[in-house]
């Protein structure tokens, strides 16, 4: 799964869903105690660290920071400075500027408790009337390098992302970033990747663990689902295997929409000079209830012809030759009609599915083939839209089909377990803003489910 990136080694996957309840597996974890430093007196104007640099640079209004730590102990020199003309008191010194040393290990947090800036209204940020906590997290040595670029003012909220692939230098981590791109929670994946990191409706965080060939090939593959409160892991697998990690979507009733990519034999792919009786990588949408039962399914091969594949890929799956002709990437559901949107990379198209009949209502993008009578919609006003190979891969990676950004009053986990491998969870604090559910770098204005003939990009 390839898309535009905002972080080197991390793929944007900013979405939220809910989940069914599979069997639970206990996960052993070690605990690293946090270190708290009390700074009394005037508010802080600056805080610097060496030899490890504080990221981002200190700002009295920013509360979350990281240090890129090494294995073993890390001795950090911290220099605290009070506001102009002010004095601060620490257990190990007093003055306008105070320098101390502190030893930290990977996954440990240093919490600096100080008075709030004079221009900050305590009512707006929650907590005690005068105290403000600055969290400095000691990242593990194999945490991926993040290169974050801010254009304008990102909306307040949390950004869920993870490594598409681990490397020799860095592990695969699911992570939550604030709007400065600072990790406020992370967990190492059990597999080679942390793909499609998703906040579930029960407060858990789930992610795919192995990208495979760009689609699912492991019949035992499943989403890793981590409970922040109990620190236990369970596994979410689509009943029809293999589970594809491109999508994990919640419905209001608790059902879960999932994808799988089983092989289907004896399909005529001669439309693109393939075998008249070949195996293909199918795309199966499955709505799964809380008990893990399939209550609705849809197969692309029953409704989309091989002739619609604009750039099929020949692959070998478990020693069998097959054609990847659909490659579904993203799913969304209309909460009113129940109709389903799905994007397919190898057809360069998006399809609206009548959930009651399974028929395709319309197809947007792709080629002119529509053998089952679906309307073909065209994007106007954007010469690049759906006109180049793999465009719908970016389409599905970067876009929420129903709206540009989605917001809801979901319980935030700011200051919850910042690293559940090593730190006891803290009580979540009230959020100052809405929880960001899905946000796009490339924004697509929604195409109404009724069937508009135009869409725009911004």
The pLDDT tens digits for 1-18 are: 322 222 323 333 332 222
pTM, rounded to two decimals:
0.76
Residue 227, pLDDT score: 93
Mean per-residue pLDDT, 344-361: 95
**What is the per-residue pLDDT across 86-128, written as a single tens digit (0 to 9) for each?**
999 999 899 999 999 999 999 999 999 999 987 554 444 444 5
Angular region, 273: left φ>0, alpha ψ -120 to 50, beta rest? left
40 confidence band (pLDDT: 50, 70, 90): very high
Look at residue 73 and tell me whether its pLDDT is greater than 50.
yes
Percent of the chain residues topping a pLDDT of 90: 54
Within 13 Å and on the Cβ side, how many CA atoms surround 349? 29
Whole-angstrom distance, CA of residue 458 vs CA of residue 456: 7
**What is the per-residue pLDDT across 120-155, written as a single tens digit (0 to 9) for each?**
544 444 445 568 999 999 999 999 999 888 888 877
* Average pLDDT value over all residues in the chain: 76
Look at residue 438 and tell me whether its pLDDT is greater than 80.
no
Tokens of 285: 């949408």
Residue 308, pLDDT score: 95
**Contact residues for 309 (Cβ-Cβ < 8 A; gap 6+):** 269, 271, 272, 323, 325, 326, 346, 347
């Amino acid at each position: 799964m390839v898309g535009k990136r905002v972080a080197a080694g991390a793929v944007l996957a900013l979405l939220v869903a809910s989940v069914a309840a599979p069997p639970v597996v206990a996960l052993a974890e070690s605990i690293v105690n946090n270190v708290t430093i009390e700074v009394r007196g005037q508010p802080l104007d600056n805080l610097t660290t060496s030899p490890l640099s504080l990221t981002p640079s200190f700002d009295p209004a920013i509360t979350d920071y990281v240090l890129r730590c090494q294995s073993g102990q890390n001795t950090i020199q911290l220099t605290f400075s009070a506001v102009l003309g002010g004095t601060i008191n620490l257990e190990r010194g007093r003055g306008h500027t105070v320098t101390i040393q502190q030893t930290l290990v990977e996954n440990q947090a240093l919490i600096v408790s100080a008075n709030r800036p004079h221009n900050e209204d305590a009512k707006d940020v929650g907590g005690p009337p005068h105290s403000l906590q600055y969290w400095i997290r000691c990242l593990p040595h194999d945490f991926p390098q993040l290169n974050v670029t801010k254009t304008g003012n990102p909306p307040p909220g949390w950004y869920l992302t993870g490594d598409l692939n681990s490397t020799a230098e860095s592990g695969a981590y699911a992570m939550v970033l604030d709007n400065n791109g600072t990790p406020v929670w992370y967990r190492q994946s059990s597999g080679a990747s942390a793909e499609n990191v998703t906040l579930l409706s029960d407060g858990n965080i789930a992610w795919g663990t192995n990208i495979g060939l760009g689609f699912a090939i492991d019949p035992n593959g499943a989403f890793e689902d981590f409970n922040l409160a109990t620190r236990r892991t369970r596994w979410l697998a689509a009943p029809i295997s293999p589970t594809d990690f491109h999508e994990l979507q919640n419905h209001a009733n608790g059902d879960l929409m999932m994808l799988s990519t089983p092989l289907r034999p004896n399909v005529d792919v001669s439309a693109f000079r393939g075998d008249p009786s070949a195996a293909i990588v199918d795309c199966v949408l499955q709505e799964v209830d809380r008990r893990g039962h399939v209550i609705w399914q849809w197969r692309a091969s029953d409704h989309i012809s091989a002739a619609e594949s604009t750039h099929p890929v020949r692959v070998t799956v478990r020693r069998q030759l097959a054609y990847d002709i659909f490659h579904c990437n993203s799913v969304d559901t209309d909460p009113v009609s129940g109709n389903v949107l799905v994007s397919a990379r190898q057809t360069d198209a998006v399809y609206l599915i009548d959930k009651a009949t399974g028929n395709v209502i319309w197809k947007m993008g792709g080629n002119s083939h529509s053998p089952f009578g679906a309307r073909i919609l065209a994007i106007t006003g954007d010469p690049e839209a759906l006109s180049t190979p793999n465009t719908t891969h970016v389409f599905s990676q970067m876009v929420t089909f129903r709206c540009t950004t989605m917001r809801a009053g979901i319980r935030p986990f700011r200051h919850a377990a910042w690293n559940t491998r090593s730190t006891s969870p803290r009580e979540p604090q009230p959020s100052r803003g809405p929880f960001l559910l899905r946000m796009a770098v490339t924004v697509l204005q929604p195409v109404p489910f009724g069937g508009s003939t135009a869409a725009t990009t911004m």
